[in-house]
Amino acid sequence: MQSDTDNVSARSNQVGDDPKWTTAIGLMSGTSMDGIDVALIETDGKSVRKFGAFASYPYTELLRTALQGVIGHVPVAGPDLQEMIDDITDSHAEAVEDFAKRANINLSTVGVIGFHGQTVFHDPKNGVTCQLGDGKRLAVRLGVPVVSDFRSADVAAGGEGAPFAPLFHAALARKLDTPLCVLNLGGVGNLSWISADGAVIAFDTGPASALIDDWVHEHTGAAMDKDGTLARNGKVDQHVLNMLLDDPYFEAPYPKSLDRDHFDRSSVDGLSVEDGAATLVAFTAMSVKLGANLLPSPPLRWLVSGGGRHNPAIMAGLRMLLHCPIEPVESVGWNGDAIEAQAFAFLAVRSEKGLPLSLPTTTGVPTPQRGGILNFP
């Protein structure tokens, strides 16, 4: 962990009646680029004592459109990029301020904020991962220490820089029957396989909601295929699906990770809106199946988080292919919309305490890797 001061603020340990617990806020804006998730937890960086409030804040259409224009490559430094970074950061600040007001949270009681930033490009094979956001600016505005830039140290050390939620998944799953898989269906899909002895394997499985959302938005103007209606009224084009699945990524060993725009969607062009949605849903489900084939042993169950769990077409496809219980994480009392934001609150506390954020089996980093930059107000 790096910081802009050698003296860690005492406030980060002044929470509740036990100094080892920290109240932390996590902020996540994922590859779906639909907005900002804000979550509060109380944690020691190894377990979670309490789950607090959660809320989501959509990006403005103007900001989302601007982000669409820079994804898929490293943005060029300059005034336009700085303005976008400031806009992203200020949007997160406004979300936290509103969140604290609505949940009656005094920010002086919050020990640390985990600020993921907005991923616009991820190419770990070439040592690049790019999340836009200014941790120092956010800390100054909110008056709370902020941990940012979670992924760079992992990539610099030779890791994939993703996925980053598996240690949080493992902490939550300690009392559950294992082996199990936690599957996050955000813009990109990723899984955490947790063994009976607590070992964790993780990797990106393939596309999740991003390709479907982009297809639907392009053809209908809607942000998503609500309730999977289009996909359920369409037919899978097997030839196109086979073309999509003909990617060496699926046979590559884990750990591995993906950029949001890794897959070429052009083979779907020419299909009807419904058939395209159905084919992309099948692509997502088959990607998970191919990932499952790589695991050391089949999980007893799959617990699904992220927006994709709300799509009945995706969930039906997974149940057809995986032949074991496929349940939203709510079935074990977790919040599937909040879990990624909660994870970055958890990781922020781990970063402050000098604990690893990633492992050789989760990102391929050579040794357990610390990370994050600590910014003080």
pLDDT of residue 34: 81
Burial class (CB in 10 A: 0-12, 13-18, 19+), 252: exposed
User: Domains in the chain and their CATH numbers?
Assistant: 2-162+344-375 (3.30.420.40), 166-332 (3.30.420.40)
pLDDT of residue 32: 72
* Helix, coil or strand: residue 180: strand
pLDDT by residue for the chain (377 residues), tens only, comes to: 433 322 233 343 433 456 799 999 999 997 778 899 999 999 999 999 999 999 999 999 899 889 988 888 888 899 999 999 999 999 999 999 999 999 999 999 999 999 999 999 999 989 999 999 999 999 999 999 999 999 999 999 999 999 999 999 999 999 999 999 999 999 899 999 999 999 999 999 999 999 999 999 999 999 899 999 999 999 999 999 999 999 999 999 999 999 888 999 999 999 999 999 999 999 999 999 999 999 999 999 999 999 999 999 999 999 999 999 999 999 999 999 999 999 999 999 999 999 999 999 999 999 999 999 999 99
**Strand ranges in the chain using DSSP code E only, listed in sequence order:** 2-3, 22-29, 35-43, 48-58, 112-123, 128-132, 146-148, 180-185, 188-194, 200-207, 302-305, 326-328, 373-375
Write phi, then psi, for 4 (nearest 5 degrees): -95, 15
Burial 184-222 (b: 16+ CB within 10 A, else e): bbbbbbbbbbbbeeeebbbbbbbbbbbbbbbbbeeeeee
